[in-house]
Amino acid sequence: MSSVATRNGTQAQAAAGPGFTDTLAAEWAKLRTWRAIRWSFALAIVLSIAMSALLGLVIGATYDDWPASEQAQFDPILYPMNGIVASLIGFAVLGVMAVTPEYGNGLVRLTFTATPRRSRVVLAKVLIVTALTLVGGMASAFGMYFAGQAVFSTADLPTESVFTGDAMRAVLSIGLLMPVFPLLGLAIGFLTRSTAAGITGVLVLLWAPEIFGPLLPGWWQENVVSLLPGPAGDSVIIGHLVDSRTFSDPAVGALIVAAWLVGAIALSVAMVRRRDA
């Protein structure tokens, strides 16, 4: 094909500028070829299910030796969900990696010359990360649950169908809320423009309340830690199964999470538009 032959064809349609769907398709064409995105997506799903199955095996093998008080606490809904650690980290990394590599190698300048309306680029990445981690989060949640139940049944432990209200709420809300930390990671990526800082930032936000929250005085747990996205999300996912001073009413928890997401994305858009690329 000669350049001259296609030249005329191109100029005929030159008047129509790209729209949001073009930006979305371009971002998808770009991100889906990145190995960091593929690996974090695959590992988040596979490792979370493997971890749940493995922990199930350990529980099955040792259950008979547990003290009666601990045996009474066995929960066939909660216990298979331990693998969530892997999916939370994997998908959060995916969110950061949808942004920062471009800043590392300067590709972002090409992105913003092709799409000078930078908010479109941010929103396209938001949609792609949301879609990927929603699908991946659902796969991970159901995978963990089924793997756990399968292992428990072979060990003659109590199991629970996923179709009970309690189980369905936990499994579905894990999937639905999975995009939260990836999106916060994406925003931190846009703000720090650095892979190391982005991953560190999102993991601190993810784990700090888990690790340091319980060490704080009760008032702080109830009024400060509870406003962080992790505890707010957990009150939606397992608020009906577990008690914690950091949990809110599930509806309030959902609102807190939504506020974090809206704030983080709005801040990203504002900064990306204002700063030099």
Partner 1 sequence: MIEVRGLTKRFGETLAVDQLSFQVQPGIVTGFLGPNGSGKSTTMRMIMGLDNPTAGAATVNGKDYRELSAPMHEVGALLDAKAVHGGMTAEQHLRWVARAGKVSPGRVPAVLELVGLEKVADRRTGGFSLGMMQRLGIATALLGDPKVLMFDEPVNGLDPEGIRWVRNLLKQLASEGRTVFVSSHLMSEMEATAEHVIVIGRGRLIADGSIEALTQGSTDSYVRVVTPKANEFAGVLEEEGGRIRREDGALLVRDLGAPAIGELAAARGIALHELSPHRARLEAAFFELTRDSVEYQSREDGASPDDVAVTAAALAQEEETR
Q: Name the residue nearer to partner 1 (CB basis): 118 or 169.
A: 118
We find the least distance from the C-beta atom of residue 128 to partner 1, in angstroms, to be 12
Separation of alpha carbons 101 and 119, rounded Å: 18
Q: Name the residue nearer to partner 1 (CB basis): 3 or 69.
A: 3
- C-beta neighbour count of 172 within 10 angstroms: 15
- b/e per residue 14-26 (b: at least 16 CB within 10 A): eeeeeeeeebbeb
Q: Name the residue nearer to partner 1 (CB basis): 35 or 218.
A: 35
Q: Name the residue nearer to partner 1 (CB basis): 21 or 69.
A: 21
Q: Which two tokens stand for residue 190?
A: 């846009």
Q: Which two tokens stand for residue 163?
A: 């179709």
Contact 220, 127 (CB under 8 A): no
Q: Which two tokens stand for residue 143?
A: 């995978």
Q: Name the residue nearer to partner 1 (CB basis): 34 or 79.
A: 34
We find the least distance from the C-beta atom of residue 194 to partner 1, in angstroms, to be 16
We find the least distance from the C-beta atom of residue 75 to partner 1, in angstroms, to be 43
Report how far apart, in Å, the C-alpha atoms of 17 and of each of 20, 21, 108, 125 are.
10, 11, 20, 20
We find the least distance from the C-beta atom of residue 4 to partner 1, in angstroms, to be 9
Q: Which two tokens stand for residue 6?
A: 């296609």
We find the least distance from the C-beta atom of residue 115 to partner 1, in angstroms, to be 5
Site residues, partner 1 (CB under 8 A): 1-3, 5-7, 9-11, 13-19, 22-23, 25-27, 29-30, 33-35, 101-102, 105-107, 109-117, 274, 276-277
